[in-house]
Amino acid sequence: MPRKHNPFDNYKAVLDKAAELLGLTQNDYIILKYPERSLRVSLPIRMDNGEVRVFEGFRVQHSSSRGPCKGGIRYHQDVDEDEVKALAAWMTMKCAVVNIPYGGAKGGIQVDPRTLSKGELERLTRRFVAMIMPIIGPERDIPAPDVNTTPEIMGWIMDTYSMQKGYAVPGVVTGKPIEVGGSLGRSEATGRGVMLCARMLMEKLGRSLRGVTVAVQGMGNVGSVAAYLLHREGAKVVAISDISGGIYNENGLPMEELRPHFAARRTLAELPDGDFERIDNDGLLACGAEILVPAALENAISRSNAGNVSAKFIIEGANGPITPAADEILEANGVTVVPDILANAGGVVVSYFEWVQNLQSFRWEEDYVNDMLERTMRHAFDEVWALAEEKRASLRMGAYMSALKRVVGAKKLRGIFP
Ligand code: GLU
């Protein structure tokens, strides 16, 4: 069934708008409307009950103009090729905004991993790696975690690839457990980047995070870390939600107490009643918090609910959480949006640091990783802010213009082969 909001169409619409602002011609950037390579694989798995089931998986490489392709792998029942294509293209833009030497890629398997046993999940992962083996590698395409994929799964990817090669190749995947070449700071990096963007936005407006009210949608790796770090910076996290629902307290939620709950991957429905009100997703969007962090899936804010958003500032923790139609409504309502390709780039920035450490067989200290992340984010944020001001455009346009300049510039210098 075709999607209601095709995320790859959304990507192309935004790309066209930014290209127009920059005065680019179709010749300059038409190539970015197509992924370089797309591999669709069938994955037969022997289930624990003896039955054989076949899952569908994808690896899409959108661009390698600025370096090896880079991007996560997601396990979700709604994964399809258009979604993976969009996610791959966003990775190209994201790596360009933060100026790390990568192109973009993404992978996905259409599966609800909660329905699999651990053994089934491991067999599915290893079979997927075997099937995409010809197109991945530390100098070719480097996977990482995304929705529902963990450091443990990255460890299986590293092992499967290494077993085929006959020697350990830690640089083939990032987001690994520390023991097999993961980087300190990587698991919190995306949430940390979200917090940094919120802080930098407040600074640009002559304010700080102290006392600012925040609502966070999604309590996965991005949302839960962002909420906790925002709280640590003095912001007041008043509402959070996950797939099971949300909770609200106008005086702030007890983030220190909630942290272990999310670390154990438990849902809010499993949380005993406490000093908070139960709310639903619409309640979270309209809860009155100044900053909203959508950190769930694509298209969470669409034409139908954008008008209910009460926040003045949105930091996009997820990829593509706002549809283009919703973006227009928010802009008309005076909401400032820090776009995904900047706001959630902290993860891939520290993935880059992990890969560099792997290639050099060297290990950085956590403070150094966090410091380099902050510098990288600050540089990108300032550039995006300046471009948006110069063109009197949104921060999303600023980010896309900044990315487009780099990707189109690299393409021009390399030329079209042959
Ligand atoms: N999946 C994350 C993202 O969407 C991280 C990608 C990576 O580290 O390569 O940015």
Whole-angstrom distance, CA of residue 310 vs CA of residue 239: 13
What band does 263 get if pLDDT is binned at 50, 70 and 90? confident
User: Which residues carry out catalysis?
Assistant: 106
87 CA closest ligand 1 atom index:
4
Which pLDDT tens digit goes with each residue over 315-343?
A: 999 999 999 999 999 999 999 999 999 99
- Closest atom of ligand 1 to CA, residue 143: 9
Dist. CA 71 → ligand 1 center (Å): 5
Among 194, 351, 376, name the best residue to mutate to test ligand 1's pocket (greatest count of ligand atoms within 8 A of Cβ).
351
Asked whether residue 271 carries a pLDDT value surpassing 60, the answer given is yes
pLDDT tier for residue 78 given thresholds of 50, 70 and 90: very high
Task: Count the alpha carbons within 13 Å of 253 in the hemisphere toward its beta carbon.
Answer: 28
Ligand 1 site, residue 297, Cβ cutoff 6 A: no
Residue 1: per-residue pLDDT: 47
Q: Is 72 in the pocket of ligand 1 (CB under 6 A)?
A: yes
List the beta strands (DSSP E) in 157-232: 213-217
Atom of ligand 1 nearest to the CA of 145: 1
* Residue 282 in tokens: 């619409």
Q: Determine which residue's CA is closest to atom 9 belonging to ligand 1.
A: 71
Could you tell me if the CB of 347 is within 6 A of ligand 1? yes
Arithmetic mean of pLDDT, 240-252: 96
**Pairwise CA distance, residues 281 & 247, whole Å:** 10
Q: What tokens does 228 get?
A: 């906790």
Q: How would residue 265 be classed by pLDDT, with cut points 50, 70 and 90?
A: confident
CB of 108 closer than 6 angstroms to any ligand 1 atom? no
How many angstroms does the Cα of residue 352 sit away from the middle of ligand 1?
10
Is the Cβ atom of 193 under 6 angstroms away from ligand 1? no
Supply the residue whose CA is at minimum distance from atom 7 of ligand 1.
348
Measured from the CB, is residue 69 less than 6 Å from ligand 1? no
In 52-159, which ranges are E strands? 52-63, 69-70, 73-76, 104-110, 141-142
Q: What spacing in Å lies between the alpha carbon of 164 and ligand 1's midpoint?
A: 25
Rounded to an integer, what is the distance from CA 124 to the centroid of its chain? 23
- Residue 3 pLDDT level (bands cut at 50, 70, 90): low
- Which tens digit of pLDDT belongs to each residue from 308-320? 999 999 999 999 9
Q: Mean pLDDT for the chain? A: 97
**Is 148 touching ligand 1 by the criterion CB < 6 Å?**
no
Mean pLDDT over 290-308 rounds to 95
| Predicted local confidence at residue 5, as pLDDT | 78
Q: Calculate how far, in angstroms, residue 361's C-alpha sits from the geometric centre of ligand 1.
A: 22
Is pLDDT of 348 > 80?
yes
Tell me, using a 6 A CB cutoff, whether residue 174 lines ligand 1.
Answer: yes
Residue with tokens 């792997």: 358
Asked if residue 74 has its Cβ within 6 Å of ligand 1, the reply is: no
pLDDT of residue 93 exceeding 70:
yes
Concatenated DSSP letters of 32-63: GGS-SEEEEEEEEEE-TTS-EEEEEEEEEEEE
pLDDT, tens digit, for every residue of 200-222? 999 999 999 999 999 999 999 99
144: Cβ below 6 Å to ligand 1? yes
Determine the residue of 298, 348, 352 to mutate for testing ligand 1's pocket, defined as the one with the most ligand atoms within 8 A of the Cβ atom: 348
Q: Which residue has the higher pLDDT, 347 or 1?
A: 347
pLDDT band at 183 (very low <50, low <70, confident <90, very high): very high
Please tell me the distance between residue 253's alpha carbon and the centre of ligand 1 in angstroms: 28
Spacing, Cα 145 to ligand 1 middle (Å): 6
- Could you read off the pLDDT of 114-141 as tens digits, one per residue? 999 999 999 999 999 999 999 999 999 9
Average pLDDT (77-91) is 97
* pLDDT above 60 for 53: yes
Q: Residue 72 CA: which ligand 1 atom is closest?
A: 1
The C-alpha angle with vertex 357 and arms to 129 and 224, in degrees rounded to 5, equals 70
Q: Is the pTM of this model over 0.85?
A: yes
Residues in the chain: 418
Ligand 1 atom, smallest distance to 351 CA: 8
Question: 225 falls in which pLDDT band (50, 70, 90)?
Answer: very high
Ligand 1 atom with minimal separation from the 71 CA: 9
